Homo-oligomer: A and B are copies of this chain.
Amino acid sequence: MKKTEAPNFALDGTIADTVKECSGAAVGAAPGWGGDFLLTEVGYHPDRVELNGSRFLLSNGYMGYRGTLEEAEKEDLVACTLAGVYDQVGTAWREPVNAPNGLYTLLSFNGQPLRPGLIKPAAHQQVLDLQQALHRRRTTFTFAEHSVEIEAERFLSLADPHLMVMAYHFRSAHAGEIVIETGIDADVWDLNGPHFTEVSFAAAGPSRTATVRTNEGKVIAVAEAVSGIEGQKELVTGEQRLLQRITLTVAAGKEYCFYKYVAVYTSLDPECAAVGGASDRRAQEAVRRAVAVGFDKLRAEHVACWAERWQRSRVVVTGDPEAQFALDYSIYHLLAVVPAHTEHASIPARGLSAQTYKGAIFWDTELFMLPFFIYTQPELARKLLRYRYHTLDGARRKAAEYGYRGAFYAWESQETGEDACSYFNVTDVFSGRPLRTYFRDKQIHISADIAYAIWQYYLITGDESLLFEGGAEIILETARFYYSYAYFKKDKSRYELLDVTGPDEYHERVANNAYTNYMVKYNLAIALEVIGLLREKDEAFYQSLIEKLDFEKDLSGLVEMNELLYLPPPDPQTKLIEQFDGYFRLEDVKLSDLKARMKMPHEYLGGGNGLASTTQIIKQADVVALLNLFKADFSRAVKKANWAYYEPRTEHGSSLSPCVYAMLAAELGKKDWAYRYFLQTATIDLTGDYKRYVGTLYIGGTHPAANGGAWMGAVFGFGGLHFDGKTVKLKPLLPAEWQALVFNFQVKGQWFTVEMTEEQVRVKADRGNTQPIRFEVAGQQGICGENGELVFAFPDGKSFG
C-alpha cells in the first residue's frame, strides 16, 4: 500500500505556503502526531475519480462531501450526502438525498474553462489532512502560452455541522481575464433519483439559496456566500443552477483569494422545525454568520474540535508507518462520519460517501464500529444506541408485519426504523433479473446484535442510564421477538431458530445458525439480567415498563427459552462448531476451485442459485465471529480448530470479515495471519481494493465497519484489550515491525493510556479518574487508581505470548 501514488511532477510548494499563510490556521500538533498525516495523490487520473471521491471524503456526521474537485459536476460523482434524510422515487430503493452542491466553482481564463476534462492538468495534487479534516487540491492548468494555478482548501465544520467552508486561491502566470463561476449546482448525482420535485433559487442580499423539495416533501436549503474578491458580478441561472459570475482582470503572477461559506439545512432539522420549517432562512442566517466570523476562525474552531476527538481516539504504532497511517485513516473516517449532532441518525454501511446500500444502518454499526466509540467516545456511542431506541417502533412494526411480537430490527435501517432492505437485492448476471434474497426477512440476528451492543455499552461504560432510557426496553422487546420466532422441538426438549440467515449471507434460510443461536441466547440472558437490575434500582420504573409492554405473561417463556435454547456445541472430537444444521454435509470445495467455476466477473455467489450456496464456502466470518465475541465460553482448542477450518473456506466477500479473523488470529498467537488480515481491513478504503459491484449493483464507497475493524484489530487484536465489566485484560502480541502500541480508552468512565511493547505493558490513569480499575496482564493483576500507573513486565524480557 502506498499513500502517494504515481508521482509525475514535483510541486514547487509556493501556493501551498501562500495558502497556509492566508488561512492563518495554527493548531499545534497533537502529542504523538508525526508529520505524515496527509493522504496525497499526485497527478490527475480520470479513472480514479470515482475511487478518490471516497478516499478524499470529508464528513462531519451531518453530511459527507466526496473528494471531488470544485469544478466537478455530477458525471464526476460529486455528492453532498445528508445523514438521515431519505427519499424514494417511485418503487426504486429509498436512499439518502444528495444536497445541491453549494461549493461548485469553476474558473475560466480568457474564456477557457479550467477543468481537467478539457485541459489535462500540467500538475495536480489532492490532499486529505487527516488530523485537521481538511481537503486541499492544487492544480496547474497550462494551455497555449498560459498557465493558471489554483488551490482550494475546504472543510465540513465539526463545530457547526451545517457549514462547509472553502478558501480558493488562484494565480495566473500572465495577465488576463478570469471569470469565476461559483454558486449552487442542484443537478446532482443520484443512484435512484432524481429526488428533487421542485427546485427554487433565491438571491437575497449577499447570499444565494437553492431550496429543493423531495418526492417525500422534505425541504433542503443550501445557502452560499462569497467573500474576499472584487470584480464585476452578475447572477447566472440555469434550470438547475444558480451561479454568480465574477469577472476580473488579473495581473501576472499575482495571487488572488476568496472564501465560500455554504450552509445546509433541512426541514428535518429541529432548528428549522422550530421556525416553521423555514430551512432556507436558517441556511441564509448561518451563511451570514459564517461570513461575519470569517474563514480563519471557523477553520480554527473546526480543527480544535478534531483535535479533541483525536486526543481520545488515536492509536499510535511505533515502527510501522504504513500501519500507523492506515489506522489514522480508518479512525479519521469513524470520527468524521459519526452524527454527533443527533440521536436520530446512525452510521450507514458506506458512511456518507454515497447513496450506496441505501444509506442504511446495518449491524455494521453495533458490531464493528461501536466498540471503538464505546471505548474512546462513549458519549457518541450512547447517541448511536439511542438511534436504535428512536427506531424501536419501526422494529416493532417489522416484527408485526411478519406475524411476530417484540422488535425485529430492520436489516437496513433508515430514519424511522422501517426496513429499507428490498426482497430483490441483487441482480442475476445470467438472466438479468432481480434475485430474491433473504437479508430482510431472515437475518434475524440483527435484533440480538443491537441488544448485545447495548449491554456492552453498559458493561464497559458502567452507564446505567441508557438502560433506563430505552436500552432495557430494546433488550426486552428483542428477547420477546426471539421467543415468538422460535420453535420448540418436543422430542429434543429444546428451542430452535429455524429458517434464518446468519452473517454468512451466501447460505440463506438455514436452521440453527450457531452465531444466531448464541447471540439470541445472550439476548435472553441479558433480558433476565436487566430485569433484575431494573427491579433492584427502580422497581417503579420496572413495573411501569413491564406494564407498558404488557410483558408479564412473557417472562416465564423467556426464562424457559434461555434455559432450553439449542446452542450448537463444538464436536467432542473435532472441536468444530457446525455453522448451521447440515453445513458439514455441503460440498467441501476449495475456494480457488469455486472461483474457477465462475462464468461472470460479478456473479453473486449466494442465494438461490449461487455457486457457494451448495458448498462450504462462506461469505464472511460466522462461527469465527461467534468465537471472537464470546471469548470466555470457548476453549482455546475450539477456537483454534474452528479458525483453521473456516479460514480457508471464507471468501471474505464482505469487508466485515477480515478484521474478525485478525482478532481471533491474534488471540491464538497467529501473528502473521493477524497482521495480514489487520492490514487488509485497515487499508481497504485507501487501496480501494473492495467490491464495486455485486451483480449489476454499484456498492462503492467507504467502509466504516472495516475502519472500526482496523481499530479493533489493533486494540483488541494486538493489544488484547478485553473488559468483562470487572477486569481489564491486556495481552500484547505485536507484529514484528511494531516496537510499541499506544492507545487510550475508558472503562466505567475512567480513562487510561496504555503503552505496550511485547515485553512491557504500562497503564496510565487519567488525572480526572475517580475510581480504581483492576487490570490483568498475562496472569498478573494490578489496580490502577486515580492518576496512577501500572507496569506489567516479564522479568526475563520474553514476550507475553
Q: Which residues of A line the B interface, CB within 8 A?
A: 405, 423-424, 428, 430-433, 435-436, 483-484, 487-491, 496, 498-499, 509, 511, 557, 599, 607-609, 611, 613-614
Residue with the highest number of chain B CB atoms closer than 10 Å, among A428, A490, A509: A490
Bound-complex Cα distance A490 to B511 (A):
18
Residue numbers in B under 8 Å from A483 (CB-CB): 491
How far does the Cβ of A542 sit from chain B's closest Cβ, in whole Å?
Answer: 23
Residue numbers in B under 8 Å from A433 (CB-CB): 609, 611
Residue numbers in B under 8 Å from A611 (CB-CB): 433
Bound-complex Cα distance A435 to B609 (A):
6
Quick one: which of B431, B436, B484, B489 contacts A430, CB cutoff 8 A?
B431
Residue numbers in B under 8 Å from A496 (CB-CB): 487
Bound-complex Cα distance A436 to B586 (A):
12
Nearest-CB residue, chain B, relative to A423: B614
Cβ contact within 8 Å between B609 and A436: yes
Nearest-CB residue, chain B, relative to A480: B491
Bound-complex Cα distance A511 to B435 (A):
21
Quick one: which of B435, B491, B599 contacts A557, CB cutoff 8 A?
B491
Besides A424-B614, A432-B599, A498-B498, 20 new A-B residue pairs in contact (Cβ under 8 A), listed by A number: A405-B491, A423-B614, A428-B430, A428-B609, A430-B431, A431-B609, A433-B609, A433-B611, A436-B608, A436-B609, A436-B614, A498-B499, A499-B499, A499-B509, A509-B509, A607-B608, A607-B609, A608-B608, A608-B609, A609-B609
Residue numbers in B under 8 Å from A608 (CB-CB): 436, 607-609, 613
Bound-complex Cα distance A673 to B553 (A):
52
How far does the Cβ of A594 sit from chain B's closest Cβ, in whole Å?
Answer: 12
Bound-complex Cα distance A484 to B489 (A):
8
Nearest-CB residue, chain B, relative to A553: B491
7 sampled A-B residue pairs with Cβ under 8 A: A424-B614, A432-B599, A435-B609, A484-B491, A487-B498, A509-B509, A608-B613
How far does the Cβ of A197 sit from chain B's closest Cβ, in whole Å?
Answer: 28
Nearest first, the 7 closest Cβ-Cβ pairs linking A and B are A608-B608, A487-B487, A430-B430, A488-B488, A430-B431, A608-B609, A609-B609
Report if A490-B557 is in contact (Cβ < 8 Å); known contacts: A435-B609, A436-B613, A609-B436.
yes
How far does the Cβ of A548 sit from chain B's closest Cβ, in whole Å?
Answer: 20
Residue numbers in B under 8 Å from A428 (CB-CB): 430, 609
Bound-complex Cα distance A489 to B488 (A):
6
Nearest-CB residue, chain B, relative to A486: B490
Nearest-CB residue, chain B, relative to A436: B614
Bound-complex Cα distance A292 to B422 (A):
76
Bound-complex Cα distance A690 to B186 (A):
59
Cβ contact within 8 Å between B484 and A487: no
Cβ contact within 8 Å between B488 and A490: yes
Nearest-CB residue, chain B, relative to A587: B423
Bound-complex Cα distance A599 to B428 (A):
13
Bound-complex Cα distance A499 to B496 (A):
13
How far does the Cβ of A398 sit from chain B's closest Cβ, in whole Å?
Answer: 14
Bound-complex Cα distance A430 to B435 (A):
14
Bound-complex Cα distance A467 to B676 (A):
67
How far does the Cβ of A507 sit from chain B's closest Cβ, in whole Å?
Answer: 11
Bound-complex Cα distance A133 to B483 (A):
63
Bound-complex Cα distance A488 to B490 (A):
7
Bound-complex Cα distance A490 to B489 (A):
10
Residue numbers in B under 8 Å from A430 (CB-CB): 428, 430-431
Bound-complex Cα distance A528 to B82 (A):
65
Quick one: which of B436, B484, B511 contacts A499, CB cutoff 8 A?
B511
Residue numbers in B under 8 Å from A405 (CB-CB): 491
Bound-complex Cα distance A489 to B485 (A):
9
Bound-complex Cα distance A484 to B492 (A):
9
Nearest-CB residue, chain B, relative to A435: B609
Cβ contact within 8 Å between B599 and A431: yes
How far does the Cβ of A268 sit from chain B's closest Cβ, in whole Å?
Answer: 32
How far does the Cβ of A135 sit from chain B's closest Cβ, in whole Å?
Answer: 44
Residue numbers in B under 8 Å from A490 (CB-CB): 488, 557
Residue numbers in B under 8 Å from A431 (CB-CB): 430, 599, 609
Bound-complex Cα distance A436 to B612 (A):
11
Residue numbers in B under 8 Å from A599 (CB-CB): 431-432
Quick one: which of B424, B436, B489 contacts A487, CB cutoff 8 A?
B489
How far does the Cβ of A513 sit from chain B's closest Cβ, in whole Å?
Answer: 14
How far does the Cβ of A566 sit from chain B's closest Cβ, in whole Å?
Answer: 12
Residue numbers in B under 8 Å from A498 (CB-CB): 487, 498-499
Nearest-CB residue, chain B, relative to A484: B491
Bound-complex Cα distance A61 to B320 (A):
80
Nearest-CB residue, chain B, relative to A403: B581
Bound-complex Cα distance A585 to B786 (A):
61
How far does the Cβ of A553 sit from chain B's closest Cβ, in whole Å?
Answer: 10
Residue numbers in B under 8 Å from A557 (CB-CB): 490-491
Residue numbers in B under 8 Å from A609 (CB-CB): 428, 431, 433, 435-436, 607-609
How far does the Cβ of A603 sit from chain B's closest Cβ, in whole Å?
Answer: 8
How far does the Cβ of A306 sit from chain B's closest Cβ, in whole Å?
Answer: 48
How far does the Cβ of A463 sit from chain B's closest Cβ, in whole Å?
Answer: 34
Quick one: which of B423, B487, B499, B607 contacts A488, CB cutoff 8 A?
B487
Bound-complex Cα distance A751 to B719 (A):
88
Residue with the highest number of chain B CB atoms closer than 10 Å, among A405, A430, A557: A430
How far does the Cβ of A561 sit from chain B's closest Cβ, in whole Å?
Answer: 9
Residue numbers in B under 8 Å from A488 (CB-CB): 487-490
How far does the Cβ of A479 sit from chain B's closest Cβ, in whole Å?
Answer: 13
Nearest-CB residue, chain B, relative to A489: B487
Residue with the highest number of chain B CB atoms closer than 10 Å, among A483, A491, A498: A491
Residue numbers in B under 8 Å from A424 (CB-CB): 614
Bound-complex Cα distance A483 to B487 (A):
14
How far does the Cβ of A727 sit from chain B's closest Cβ, in whole Å?
Answer: 39
How far does the Cβ of A635 sit from chain B's closest Cβ, in whole Å?
Answer: 26
Residue numbers in B under 8 Å from A607 (CB-CB): 608-609
Bound-complex Cα distance A431 to B611 (A):
11
How far does the Cβ of A534 sit from chain B's closest Cβ, in whole Å?
Answer: 24
Nearest-CB residue, chain B, relative to A430: B430
Bound-complex Cα distance A428 to B608 (A):
11
Residue numbers in B under 8 Å from A487 (CB-CB): 487-489, 496, 498
Bound-complex Cα distance A511 to B490 (A):
18
Bound-complex Cα distance A725 to B436 (A):
47
